[in-house]
A and B are shown apart, each in its own frame.
With several copies, the nearest count.
Chain A
């Protein structure tokens, strides 16, 4: 009967058959580190990586300050400590690619070029906000930059990322759909269905799991049978790579390689980035549930000082230049936040029907 299907769909050289190929999965790359095949980064790019991590860090620190000033409302989920993933992965993506993430997505959006002032304006609930103040911290979306959206529901954004991947495959222009999510998300149904569909249809999707060891206040070992989430990818015969999420260049190379495969039609990749969040889950969380020794060990592996030291050691950056970058970032976020704080509130009388229906 497969034969008859083939003839039937011959005209369209049925990609359905390609799906069938998925039975024989591409030789799994499960393993540590990245593939040296990816061309080395030039100085400009490496400095840009450092600068981006610094910007994300300072952006989040400013969010914290603004929060205490009463400018940010409700809750926020900051990513200090995980900047290496956002900066590294995004550098490997191209214009025209699709990127999605979660409520902890400020970093991914910044790395993708989201403007700080509109971001703060959104956090402050202002009319000039990225989403006109309708979404807030958990729903940054900037379609013009391929930032297709954040999931406030754990795992909820993965199916849409798969849809964007199908969109990319149908377009045939070599786009990819990259989606960022956490370790706690791998236990929910939406993750499973998304992984399976992406693999069976060999979609150009890059699943980037930021394994920071905790889902809210609960450590991974209480919710998942292992701490290495590449293990989970085996259940989909999906190429899976584990990388040090605090090594920004390793994340870049691994993502670049996955993107190459995806653009070449070789299907999805699951990337596990080992990382850690410095702060609590959300602004009200003092993160008392973590072993102080564990926290200490990870703070010592902060991706920013580590990369700074590396660049300085290699003579690509002086401490002075690094300081200046930090100062500039501090000034930039401060200025952006100040301008945003001066922005007008949205008008409750505006026409919301236009926001609802196209």
Chain B
């Protein structure tokens, strides 16, 4: 297939542009996404092509415009909203959880709710405690939502396209530290990526490492280090948090007999617990040792560089975790 090497940011823009060309019922709303193309430039050029009618700068009112997306969706449109920093999902939590995620069910299934919520989260850029969350677990226990977390330009492109085409609400958690990362993307194609299921990125026989978002490249780097020591870690990108189909992880652990999860948030209440619990029930007899979870400490992401660096799991720390199981 035809691919181009572009950045994660460009992949997001391409997916938005292509899907907005494909379906006139789509439109996007968010703060400073119009003529300015978005604070993270993830909407570059959309306003020029589609105009204000379909690319809307909103007031600073996440509750208002995210809730508006619900009204648009049940009356025939396919709205996309951009949440500038995933931290701000807290401001519109009610609209997402009590509104968007439940409205179809409460009505007895009278309509579809094709809303795509994009939120750019994550640490590593020195944005401090209120601008660095991935918000991966905030909505983990909310039935009705689909949650995906692309770690590469190709996933960002393919999963965003799928999310926009999907008839149900999808929360797409992007990561600001990945925006400039490059990768091969089938731009201009119809090649979408599934909204569920993890992906094995690197095969290995000794241990299974499941990671998300910016922890994926770190896990891959850890695998490199381990390989140098003759340890083969299988690296799996979890990709989707809700619903969570872990079949490939079960298969992997049945082979490697060891599991390590790596997430960019506190472990307590994180998705790593869910993966560990499910793997334990599905591959109980294959586990040589209990699953090991790697995550952030029990405090917010600090601003100071050495402190922020210290809370983010390093390739070394991930490698050490893997070795501690063997």
Binding site for B on A (CB under 8 A): 5, 8-9, 11-12, 14-16, 19, 73-75, 98, 125-126, 129-139, 141-144, 148-149, 152-168, 170-171, 177, 184-185, 187-190, 193-194, 196-197, 200, 215-218, 222-224, 289, 345-346, 348, 352-358
Contacts and interface: CB of A to CB of B under 8 A. Distances in A.
Interface string B257-287: 0000000000000000000000000000000
B128 A166 contact: no
Nearest to A136: B303
A185 B31 CA distance: 13
14 contacts: A15-B52, A125-B305, A133-B304, A134-B307, A135-B106, A148-B74, A149-B106, A160-B68, A163-B71, A197-B59, A346-B306, A346-B307, A354-B109, A358-B104
Nearest to A194: B64
Contact of A136 (B36, B63, B64, B304): B304
Nearest to B98: A153
Interface string B124-160: 0111111100000000000110000000000000000
Interface in B87-123: 87-88, 90-91, 94-95, 98-99, 103-114
Nearest to A197: B64
B58 A215 contact: no
B72 A133 contact: no
B128 A136 contact: yes
Interface string B34-77: 11100100000001101111000111111111111111111111
Given A12-B53, A163-B70, 12 more contacts: A98-B71, A125-B303, A135-B106, A135-B107, A135-B129, A137-B303, A159-B63, A164-B74, A167-B75, A187-B60, A193-B61, A197-B59
A98 B68 contact: no
A216 B31 contact: yes
Contacts of B51: 9, 11-12, 14, 16
Nearest to B76: A167
Most buried by B among A138, A139, A159, A196: A159
A143 B71 contact: no
Contact of A141 (B60, B68, B107, B168): B107
A355 B68 contact: no
User: Which are the 8 A-B pairs with shortest beta-carbon distances?
Assistant: A159-B67, A163-B71, A12-B51, A193-B64, A136-B303, A74-B126, A133-B304, A125-B304
B302 A160 contact: no
B36 A159 contact: no
Nearest to A74: B126
Contacts of A144: 110
A193 B60 CA distance: 9
A134 B57 contact: no
A11 B47 CA distance: 11
B154 to A, nearest CB: 25
Contacts of A131: 106-108, 110
A93 to B, nearest CB: 15
A16 B299 CA distance: 39
A72 B284 CA distance: 47
B204 interface: no
A106 B74 CA distance: 21
A223 B71 contact: no
B21 to A, nearest CB: 15
A355 B104 CA distance: 7
B108 A158 contact: no
B53 to A, nearest CB: 6
Which of B35, B104, B125 has the largest count of A CB atoms less than 10 A from its CB?
Answer: B35
B67 A160 contact: yes
A80 to B, nearest CB: 21
A133 B68 contact: no
